[in-house]
Amino acid sequence: MPPAQVSTGSPETGQRRPGRPRSERADRAIIEAALSVFAESGPEGLCIERVAARAGVGKATIYRRWPGKEDLLLDAIGALQNPLPEPAGESVRDDLVTILCAMRDSVADPRRAREFALLLGEGAKYPRLMARYVETMLEPRREVIRSVLRRGVAAGELRPDTDIEVALFMLTGAVLARGKYDPGSFPPGYVERVVDELLLGLAPGPSPGPVTTAAPAPDAAAAPNPDPAPGWLAQRLAAQLLSGPPVEGTVQVAGHLLAVQAQDQRGARLAVRARSRARSAADVDDALTRDRSVVVTWLNRGTLHLVRTEDYWWLHPLTTPQLFTGNTRRLAQEGVPPADAERGVAVIERSLTADGPLTRAQLAERVAKAGVRTQGQAIVHLLMLANLRGIAVRGPMAGREHAYALVRDWLGDRHGPRGAAAFDRDRALAELAARYLAGHGPATERDLAKWAGLPLGDARRGLAAIAGRLADRDDGLADLARRRDPGGGDCPLPPPRLLGAYDPVLLGWITRDPIVGPHGKLVAINGLFRPFAMVAGRAVGTWSMPGGKVALTPFAPLAEAVAAALAGDAAEVERFLHSPAGAARG
């Protein structure tokens, strides 16, 4: 652990005490000695004489700085805490994740965890000390979180009746309790899941009520009867491979949709399940790890996407240049200046070159040793920068974690056997337009621009380049000339189906209203897309998997046949996610 950051004033005021100039070396020695004595003997055994002897200073030196051992202990404990990052103010979810990641980093450090646990464990014996600790150390940090929650309520991102104090302790308790009772066990994505689960319950709109398994509606006549899905929506769902015959597996799904959003690993695997004959999540892992036929990296709108290896070579240079500005801004917000970012990326490249694929935690450890900040979301944006520069991608699975690999090692030379022809932007825009419509048409030029994260002019250039391949339509939508009737009359709607988080069917156009209707904020809010059930092209409920079993929360009573169909699909979801790898490969 790096040396403690020494306070130069009282915890209450932060003002420097009057007197002779202070020696930073002496301050640090005293703080380290106080922590050492505290760890050995607790608050009761902490005395100025022992601290002075261990620090190699006189008692007068300590008393010139701290009135007594209580003040010294508070400063020592405060020196172990990372400062909370300043909320960026752009997203309640992102701000909460950043703050809780900083808290996690504090309690996950073995030394910090030991001191915090000792203080909390002995706190009942020293009420005055604990009261001052809460007032001077905890309350300012809590207030930062409260301010984010209040902002969410004011902006309509959280319910107006949100209990700020309950939400605060649900968030902090999930991190602090785990750090105290199970230190060092924070799995990847834990903080994000804590925040996401809380935000699901605080989303505005009607309360979804208790989670229930899909069951026959008590009164089928009470079920809503929305207008039938228009023909163009049926065509879109067919283009999404949600109706009609399924394709073979992961590579075929990625090839047809071009890019599948993949920041949620389970969601990406379920997107493959809903569209293919893949028998288990292990099939997706095999494509990533054994076949290297697909990779995951930051593309398009600046989020992680699953793409075919051969498509990486042209999608990356086409859709990533505009992402550098936002990446630089986020790194600065995370306390990583440009020079540190350069060093961090260099460490990532050297580590992957020397050791092969490594997980985020392994790379974060190496980057931190180089003196580059990795706390909060800093390591994520450093890895994103390495991906944007074409140095790294998410390649193989390492157990349940996704490892990063060096592009030149994992995929080879782009001009070699796994590579592609030299990048041609006009050709790439034409390919983008054709492939987008194949998986998302009929659509508008604005739909294409939003999905790809490109300027509208680029979308228009791509569509103009394939004008001869487009169908003549009366509705103003662009689509490839199809074998079906342009009106979509012969295009059936998909059967009732459970779709995962961040399913592509919600992310391919400028609006998802045709599918989610009035339930939009129950399906997607704050950038969080929940797993949902779709019937006749409409969202009819959300679902989760407590205890590994699908639990459906319908928006309204479901007809008996619909409930039975969704229950059958729920069993398929469970089998897909829980099947052993051997069964999937057999």
Of the candidate ranges 176-180, 218-222, 400-404, 467-471, the one whose mean pLDDT is the lowest = 218-222
Residue 284, pLDDT above cutoff 50:
yes
User: By three-state DSSP, how is residue 512 classified?
Assistant: coil
Query: What does the alpha-carbon distance between residue 168 and residue 157 come to, in Å, rounded to a whole number?
Result: 16
Is 438 within a domain? no
Task: Find out whether 65 and 10 touch, Cβ atoms under 8 Å.
Answer: no
Give per-residue pLDDT as tens, 562-582. Answer: 999 999 999 999 999 987 643
Closest CA to 76 of 107, 99, 46: 46
pLDDT category at 247 given cuts 50, 70, 90 is very high
pLDDT category at 216 given cuts 50, 70, 90 is very low
- DSSP letter string over 15-50? PPPSSSPPPHHHHHHHHHHHHHHHHHHHHHH--HHH
The answer on 43 and 103 residing in a single domain is: no
Residue 262, pLDDT above cutoff 70:
yes
Residue 12, pLDDT above cutoff 60:
no
Is 415 within a domain? no
Residue 111, pLDDT above cutoff 70:
no
pLDDT category at 30 given cuts 50, 70, 90 is confident
The answer on 150 and 71 residing in a single domain is: no
Pick the residue with more confidence: 137 or 60?
60
Whole-number percent of the chain with pLDDT over 90: 48
Section 382-390 average pLDDT: 97
pLDDT at 84: 64
Residue 67, pLDDT above cutoff 80:
no
The answer on 377 and 311 residing in a single domain is: yes
CA angle 113, 97, 166 (to 5 degrees): 80
Residue at a domain's end among 357, 389, 410: 410
pLDDT category at 2 given cuts 50, 70, 90 is very low
The answer on 297 and 399 residing in a single domain is: yes
Give per-residue pLDDT as tens, 512-559. Answer: 999 999 998 889 876 778 899 999 999 999 998 877 889 999 999 999
The answer on 104 and 151 residing in a single domain is: yes
Whole-number percent of the chain with pLDDT over 70: 75
Query: What does the alpha-carbon distance between residue 388 and residue 321 come to, in Å, rounded to a whole number?
Result: 8
The answer on 392 and 318 residing in a single domain is: yes
Q: What is the DSSP letter of 368?
A: H
Residue 480, pLDDT above cutoff 90:
yes
pLDDT category at 488 given cuts 50, 70, 90 is very low
Task: Find out whether 254 and 278 touch, Cβ atoms under 8 Å.
Answer: no
Helix then strand then coil, in percent of the chain rounded to 5, is 55, 10, 35
Q: What is the DSSP letter of 134?
A: I
Question: What's the total number of domains in the chain?
Answer: 4
Is 423 within a domain? no
Chain mean pLDDT for the chain: 81
Residue 5, pLDDT above cutoff 50:
no
CA angle 149, 153, 156 (to 5 degrees): 135
pLDDT at 185: 66
pLDDT at 49: 82
pLDDT category at 432 given cuts 50, 70, 90 is very high
> Which residues are CB-neighbours of 458 under 8 A, at least 6 positions away?
429, 449, 452
Both tokens assigned to 395: 């390649």
pLDDT at 177: 75
Query: What does the alpha-carbon distance between residue 15 and residue 268 come to, in Å, rounded to a whole number?
Result: 52
Please list the residues that pair with 470 across neighbouring strands: 480
pLDDT at 419: 53
Is 542 within a domain? yes
The answer on 322 and 225 residing in a single domain is: no
pLDDT at 418: 52
pLDDT category at 351 given cuts 50, 70, 90 is very high
Residue with token string 């003997």: 41
Is 535 within a domain? yes
Is 482 within a domain? no
pLDDT at 350: 97
The answer on 325 and 347 residing in a single domain is: yes
Q: Encode 369-408: b = buried (16+ Cβ within 10 Å), e = exposed.
A: eeebbbbbbbbbbbbbbbbbbbbbbbbbbeeebbbbbbbb
Section 361-381 average pLDDT: 91
Section 53-65 average pLDDT: 81
The answer on 301 and 372 residing in a single domain is: yes
Full residue range of the structural domain in which residue 569 is found:
220-229+494-585
pLDDT at 1: 39
Asked whether the bond before 455 is cis by omega within 30 degrees of 0, the reply is no
Section 465-493 average pLDDT: 80
Give per-residue pLDDT as tens, 124-169. Answer: 555 666 665 666 566 777 888 888 888 877 766 777 778 888 888 8
The answer on 155 and 72 residing in a single domain is: no
User: By three-state DSSP, how is residue 90 classified?
Assistant: coil
Of the candidate ranges 65-69, 131-135, 361-365, 439-443, the one whose mean pLDDT is the lowest = 131-135
Is 549 within a domain? yes
Beta strands 303-308 and 401-406, pairing class: unpaired
Task: Find out whether 109 and 1 touch, Cβ atoms under 8 Å.
Answer: yes
pLDDT at 403: 95
Residue at a domain's end among 410, 435, 469: 410
Query: What does the alpha-carbon distance between residue 554 and residue 541 come to, in Å, rounded to a whole number?
Result: 4
Of the candidate ranges 66-70, 224-228, 313-317, the one whose mean pLDDT is the lowest = 224-228
Section 232-238 average pLDDT: 95
CATH of the domain at 71: 1.10.10.60
Pick the residue with more confidence: 278 or 82?
278
pLDDT at 161: 76
Query: What does the alpha-carbon distance between residue 336 and residue 560 come to, in Å, rounded to a whole number?
Result: 56
CATH of the domain at 385: 1.10.10.10
Is 242 within a domain? no
Residue at a domain's end among 410, 440, 463: 410
Section 93-118 average pLDDT: 70
pLDDT category at 66 given cuts 50, 70, 90 is confident
Residue 341, pLDDT above cutoff 90:
yes
pLDDT at 510: 93
The answer on 97 and 51 residing in a single domain is: no
Pick the residue with more confidence: 16 or 315?
315
pLDDT at 204: 59
Section 452-480 average pLDDT: 94
Closest CA to 236 of 461, 434, 504: 504
Residue 310, pLDDT above cutoff 50:
yes
pLDDT category at 187 given cuts 50, 70, 90 is confident
Query: What does the alpha-carbon distance between residue 303 and residue 262 come to, in Å, rounded to a whole number?
Result: 8
Residue 213, pLDDT above cutoff 50:
no
Going across the sheet that includes 497-499, the strands are: 497-499, 532-535, 538-544, 551-554
The answer on 391 and 297 residing in a single domain is: yes
